[in-house]
Structure 1
Amino acid sequence: MLPLGPAQIPALIKQARALEGAGQLEQARAKYANALAIDARLAPAMFQMAQIDFKLQRFDSAAGLLDRALKLKPGEQALWGLYVRVLEKLDDRARTASFLERAKAAPLPPKFVVAMQDALTGSRTKSRVDLGGAPPAEVQKAIRMMETGDPAGAVRVVSALRRSHPDVALLADILANAQAVLGNTAEADAAFHDTIRLAPDYAEGLANYGAFLQRTGRPTEAIPHLQRAVKLMPRMTRAWVALGAAMVPADRPGPQAEAALRKALALDPKHPQALLELAQLQLQEHQAQQAVETVRAALKAGADPEVARLCLGRALAELGDETGALAEFDALLAANPDFGPAYTARGGTLQTLGRFDEAHADFRKALEIMPKNGESYRIFLLAEKISADDPLIPQMETLVEDETVTEFSRANIGFALAKAMEDTKQYDRVFTYLRPANDLTRKLHPYDIAERRDRIDAIRTAFGGRDLPARKVAGTSDFAPIFVTGLPRSGTTLVEQIIASHSRVTGGGELGYLPSEVERVLAGPDHVFHDIDKVSDADIARAGKIAAERMLALHPGADIVTDKSVQSYLMIGPIRMALPKSRIVVVQRDPRDNLLSIYRNMFAPGLHLYSYDLKDLAAYYHLYEEILAFWRAEAPGWFYEIRYEDLIADPEAQSRALIEACGLEWEDACLNFHENKRRVDTLSVHQVRQPIYKSSLKAWERYGSEIDELLDALGGDYARKD
Structure 2
Amino acid sequence: MTDFSNLAESEQQTETPEQRAAETLRRIKQHQTAGRYDAAMSLLDSLMEEHPGNVKLEHYKAMNLILMGRKDEGRAMMEAALAKAPEDPVQLCDFASHLAENGELERATEYFQAAVEVAPDYAIARSNLGGALVLQEKLQPAIRHLERAIALDSSLIDAHTNLATAYMRTHQYDKAIDVLFRALAINPQAVGAHVSLAAALLRRERYESAEHHARRALELAPNSAEAALHLGNALASSGKMEEASEVLLNVARGPVMPLLALSRLIHLRKTTADSSERKLLESALRQEHKLGKEQRATLHYAAGKAFDDLGEYATAFDHFRKANDINKELHTYDPVAGTERADRLIEFCSPELLTRCAGGGLSETAPIFICGMPRSGTTLMDQMFSRHPKVQAGGELRSAVMAMARNKRIRDALEEKLPEAEITSDDLSRLGEEYVASVHQEGIKSEFHTDKMPSNYLYIGLLSLALPRAKFLIMRRHPLDNLLSNYMQHFGRNQPFSADFAHLASVYASFDKAATHWATALPDKVREVHYEDVTADPEAKMREVLDFVGLEWTPDVLDYKSSLRQVNTASVSQVREPIYRRAVERWRRYGTSMEPMARELREFLTEEELAACGVTD
Helix, strand or coil at the partner of 1:378 = helix
The corresponding residue for 1:34 is: none
Q: Secondary structure at the match of 2:340?
A: helix
Q: What amino acid does structure 1 have at the position aligned with 2:439?
A: M
Q: Distance in 2 between matches of 1:277 and 1:50?
A: 26
Structure 1 position 478 matched with structure 2 position 368: no
Match of 1:544 among 432, 452, 456: 432
* Aligned match of 1:591: 479
Cα offset, 1:713, TM superposition: 1.8
Q: Residues of 1 paired with 2:296 and 2:114: CA distance?
A: 34
Shift of 1:513: 0.8
Match of 1:242 in 2: 132
Given the superposition, is the C-alpha separation of residues 341 and 664 from structure 1 closer, same or farther in structure 2, using an over 3 Å criterion?
A: same
- Cα distance between partner residues in 1 of 2:203 and 2:276: 33
Q: Matched residues in 1 for 2:499 and 2:108: separation?
A: 26
Given that residues 369 and 470 in structure 2 are in contact (C-alpha distance below 8 angstroms), is that contact kept between their aligned partners in structure 1?
Answer: yes
CA distance in 1, matches of 2:515, 2:501: 21
Match of 1:383 among 260, 268, 271: 268
The answer for the alignment partner of 2:238 in structure 1 is: 353
1:673 maps to what in 2? Answer: 560
Give the C-alpha shift of residue 243 in structure 1.
3.5
The 3 A distance-change label for structure 1 pair 298 and 397 is same
Q: Which residue of 2 aligns with 1:664?
A: 551
Corresponding letter in the other structure for 1:296: F
Question: How far did residue 562 of structure 1 move?
Answer: 0.9
CA distance in 2, matches of 1:212, 1:275: 23
Return the offset for 1:659.
1.3
Q: What are structure 1's unaligned runs of at least 5 residues?
A: 1-39, 41-45, 65-91, 97-135, 172-202, 214-221, 248-255
Structure 2 residue 581 is matched with structure 1 residue 581: no
- 2:144 is aligned with what amino acid? R
Does the CA-based 8 Å contact 1:374-1:408 persist in structure 2? no
Residues in 1 aligned to 2:376 and 2:147: alpha-carbon distance in whole angstroms: 41
Deviations 1:470-529 (A, max 9, x none): 532436241112111111101101111122211111211111213320343155489837
The equivalent residue for 1:535 is 423
In structure 2, the residue matched to 1:333 is 218
Letter in 1 for 2:165: Q
SS at match of 2:494: coil
Q: Residue 283 of structure 1: CA displacement?
A: 3.4
> Aligned partner of 1:242: which letter?
A
Whichever residue aligns with residue 364 of structure 1, its letter is L
In the other structure, the counterpart of 1:12 is: none
Is 1:684–2:571 an aligned residue pair?
A: yes
Work out whether residues 139 and 170 of structure 2, in 8 Å CA contact, stay in contact via their aligned partners in 1: no
Residues 414-461 of structure 1 deviation map (CA, whole Å, 9 limit, x = unaligned):
111111111111112102321122222232323322331232243244
CA–CA separation in structure 2 for the residues paired with 1:365 and 1:612? 31
Please give the alpha-carbon distance, in whole angstroms, between the structure 2 residues aligned to 1:145 and 1:389. 53
1:257 paired residue among 139, 146, 153: 139
Q: Map of 1:147-546 to 2, 5 A cutoff?
A: 148=67, 153-154=69-70, 158=72, 208=100, 238=128, 240-247=130-137, 257-263=139-145, 265-266=147-148, 269=151, 272-299=157-184, 305-370=190-255, 372-400=257-285, 401-469=287-355, 471-474=357-360, 476-521=362-407, 523-524=410-411, 528=415, 533-546=421-434
Contact 1:417 1:433 in 2 (8 A): yes
CA distance in 1, matches of 2:527, 2:495: 24
CA separation of 1:95/1:299 partners in 2, compared to 1, >3 Å: closer, same or farther?
A: farther
SS across alignment from 1:369? coil
Q: CA deviation at 1:612?
A: 1.4
The CA distance in 2 between the partners of 1:409 and 1:327, in whole Å, is 28
C-alpha displacement of 1:570: 0.8
Matched, 1:609 2:490: no
Separation of aligned partners in 1, 2:131 and 2:442: 30
C-alpha contact (below 8 Å) 2:382/2:393 kept by paired residues = yes
Instruction: Count residues in correspondence.
Output: 545
CA distance in 2, matches of 1:229, 1:595: 48
Q: Structure 1 counterpart of 2:463, which letter?
A: I
Q: State the superposition RMSD in angstroms.
A: 4.3
Q: Give a deviation string over 1:287-316, Cα, whole Å, max 9, x none.
A: 332221122345567899323212212333
How far residue 585 of structure 1 moved from its aligned partner, in angstroms, is 0.8
- Distance in 2 between the 1:331 and 1:582 partners? 42
8 A Cα contact 1:414 1:437, kept in partner: yes
Q: For the structure 1 residues 541 and 614, does the alpha-carbon distance in structure 2 shift closer, same or farther, using more than 3 Å as the test?
A: same
Q: 696, 712, 719: which one pairs with 2:583? A: 696
Please give the alpha-carbon distance, in whole angstroms, between the structure 1 residues aligned to 2:413 and 2:463: 21
Indicate if the aligned counterparts of 1:344 and 1:366 stay in contact, CA closer than 8 A.
yes
Cα distance in 2 between the residues matched to 1:382 and 1:688: 13
- 1:101 alignment counterpart: none
Q: Distance in 1 between matches of 2:328 and 2:132?
A: 22
Q: Which residue identity lines up with residue 490 of structure 2 in the other structure?
A: M
Q: Secondary structure at the match of 1:695?
A: coil
User: Take 1:234 and 1:486, find their aligned partners in 2: how far apart are those partners?
Assistant: 47
DSSP 3-state at the match of 2:474 = strand
Q: Any conservation in 2 of the 1:485–1:566 contact (CA below 8 Å)?
A: yes
- 1:303 and 1:332, CA in 2 relative to 1: closer, same or farther beyond 3 A? closer
Q: Matches of 2:365 and 2:591 in 1, distance apart?
A: 48
TM-score w.r.t. length of structure 1: 0.66
Query: In structure 1, how many angstroms separate the alpha carbons of the residues matched to 2:250 and 2:389?
Result: 38
Greater shift, 394-403 or 655-664, is seen at: 394-403
| 8 Å contact from structure 1 (residues 431, 706) kept in 2 | yes
Partner Cα distance (2:446, 2:391) in 1 = 7
Match of 1:9 in 2: none
State how far apart, in whole Å, the 1-side matches of 2:65 and 2:277 are. Answer: 39
Offset from partner CA, 1:564-606 (integer Å, 9 cap, x none): 1111111111112111112111101111111110111112x53
Q: Which residue is equivalent to 1:99?
A: none
In structure 1, distance between residues paired with 2:200 and 2:468: 31
Residue 608 of structure 1: CA displacement? 0.6
TM, length-normalised to structure 2: 0.77
Q: Distance in 2 between matches of 1:239 and 1:449?
A: 36
The more displaced of 474-483 and 548-557 is 548-557
Kindly provide the CA deviation profile for residues 296-355 of structure 1, in whole angstroms up to 9, marking residues without a partner as x.
Answer: 345567899323212212333444543322221121111222111111111111111111
Alpha carbons of structure 1 residues 497 and 503: separation in structure 2 relative to 1, 3 Å: same
Cα distance in structure 1, aligned partners of 2:313 and 2:364: 50
Task: Provide the rounded CA distance (Å) in 2 between the counterparts of 1:481 and 1:524.
Answer: 23
Unmatched tracts of structure 2, length 5 or more:
1-18, 20-24, 44-52, 81-94, 118-124
- Partners of 1:508 and 1:562 within 8 A in 2: yes
Larger radius of gyration: 2
Structure 2 counterpart of 1:425, one-letter code:
G
Is contact 1:674-1:690 (8 Å) kept?
yes
SS at match of 1:666: coil
Deviation at 1:365, TM superposition (A): 1.9
Aligned pair in 2 of structure 1 residues 678, 312: CA closer, same or farther (>3 Å)?
Answer: same
Identity between Structure 1 and Structure 2 (%): 25
Amino acid of the residue matched to residue 652 of structure 1? E
